[in-house]
Amino acid sequence: MDERPSAAMPITDRAHSPRATLPPGAILLVDQRFGLAELRTVRTTVVNHAHALGLPRERVQALELIASELMANAIQHAGGHGRLRLWASDSEIFCEVSDAGPGISATPAGPVLDPFAPGGRGLWLAGTFADGLTVQRASPTGATVTAVVNRRPPADRGGHLPSSREASDVIDDRAGHGAIESDGEKIKRHREGAPT
Amino acid sequence: MTTSVSSRTADGVVTVVIAGEMDVAVGPKVEAEIDAAIAAPGVRGVVVDLTQVAFMDSAGIATLIRGHRRAGQAHVDYRVVGANGMVRRVLDLTGVWQLLSGEQI
C-alpha cells in the first residue's frame, strides 16, 4: 500500500487531535497508546468492554473490526503508533483513534471498491460497519477518526432514553463535524437530531 | 489468540491452512507461507483455507489479494476457501470473495 487509504465519505477539514474532553455523561473505558505490538491486546480489550456492556454479538464483531481497522491505519500510515479511546454513553459506544501521521487524503475512494486493489479498504470497512464515522484531518499534526456503534437496534432506541441529555450532547457535537455516510445503498447516517 | 499457518501438499496442490486472526500483525508470516507455496517445486495450485480463521480485517484481505497477484505472475492456480461468519461477510462486502474463491454470486 503506497498511499494512505482514503474514505468513501466526506471528510471534515477541522483540525482536531484528539478530543480533549468527553461529552457529559460519557464513561471512558479505554485510553491506550498502541503500536503493532499492542494491536491485539487493545483489540481484545475493546471486545471485552463491548461484551461487558451487553452489546449484541454482531455489534461486538463490528466494533472489533472497526477498532482493528482504525489502529492498523495508524500503524501502517501514520508512523506506527496511535492512541485509542473507547467511551460509552447510554445509547452508543465511541471508538476514537488519533495519530501523529500525515493526515488523511480527502479524495474519496468512491462507493465501489476495486476488488483487485492491494489496499485502501480499511476506513471503508470501518465506515460500513459503524453507525457513524467522522474523520478529522489535522495534517501535519495527525488525524483523528471516531466511529460510533449504537448499543441497541434502532427499534429499541429513541423515545425515552434514560439520559437523553448526554445522548443529544454527543450527537450535536458529532453533527457539527459532519455526519458521515457512505454510498447510497448503505447509508450510515447517524441520527442528527436529539431523540424525540 | 495467536495465528498459526501451516501447509500440506497433495497431488501438486499446496493447501495453506491459516488458523486464528488475519490482521496487520500477522501479514508477513502469512505472506511468506503463501509465497513458499507458490514457489514450491512442481506446484500446480495453491489453496488458502480460512476455515479456522476467526477474524479478518482489511490487512488480511490485502494479504490474500497479494497472494492472488503473486500466483497469477507465477501461473499457479490460486483459490481461497472456507471463509465463514464475519470473515465471509467482510470478504463479500469488499467484493473480493468472488475474485478469490471463484464462486459466482
Distance CA A181, CA A2 (A): 25
Q: Does B32 touch chain A (CB under 8 A)?
A: no
Q: What is the pLDDT of residues B86-101, one digit of tens each?
A: 999 999 999 999 999 9
pLDDT of residue A139: 59
CA distance A43 to chain B (A): 11
Q: Does A145 touch chain B (CB under 8 A)?
A: no
Q: Does B102 touch chain A (CB under 8 A)?
A: no
CB contact at 8 A, A186 and A166:
no
CA distance B8 to chain A (A): 26
Q: Does A36 touch chain B (CB under 8 A)?
A: yes
| Cβ-based contacts of B55 with chain A (< 8 Å) | 64-65, 68
| Cβ-based contacts of B87 with chain A (< 8 Å) | none
Return phi, psi of residue A118, to 5°: -70, -25
pLDDT of residue A155: 61
Q: Which of B65, B86, B90 sits opposite A118 (nearest CB)?
A: B65
Count A/B contacts: CB-CB distance under 8 Å: 65
| Cβ-based contacts of A65 with chain B (< 8 Å) | 55, 57, 86, 90
pTM: 0.77
Mean pLDDT by 10 residues, chain A (196 residues): 41 44 87 95 97 95 96 90 95 92 60 70 92 80 90 61 35 32 32 33
pLDDT of residue A167: 34
The C-alpha cell 495519530 sits at A99
pLDDT of residue A181: 34
CB contact at 8 A, A159 and A153:
no
pLDDT of residue A101: 75
- Pick the range with the lowest mean pLDDT from A106-115, B13-22, B59-68, B72-81: A106-115
pLDDT of residue A54: 94
CB contact at 8 A, A195 and A157:
yes
Judged against a pLDDT cut of 50, whether residue B42 lies above it is answered with yes
Q: Are strands B45-56 and B77-81 parallel, antiparallel or unpaired?
A: parallel
CB contact residues (below 8 A), chain B span 71-100, against chain A: 86, 90, 93-96, 98-99
Of the candidates B29, B34, B58, the one whose C-alpha atom is nearest the C-alpha of residue B46 is: B34
Q: Which of B58, B86, B95 sits opposite A61 (nearest CB)?
A: B86
Distance CA A71, CA A20 (A): 19
pLDDT tier, B61 (very low <50, low <70, confident <90, very high otherwise): very high
CA distance B57 to chain A (A): 6
Judged against a pLDDT cut of 90, whether residue B59 lies above it is answered with yes
DSSP annotation string for A82-106: EEEEEEE-SSEEEEEEE--SS----
| Cβ-based contacts of A36 with chain B (< 8 Å) | 24-25
Q: Which of B23, B55, B66 sits opposite A72 (nearest CB)?
A: B23
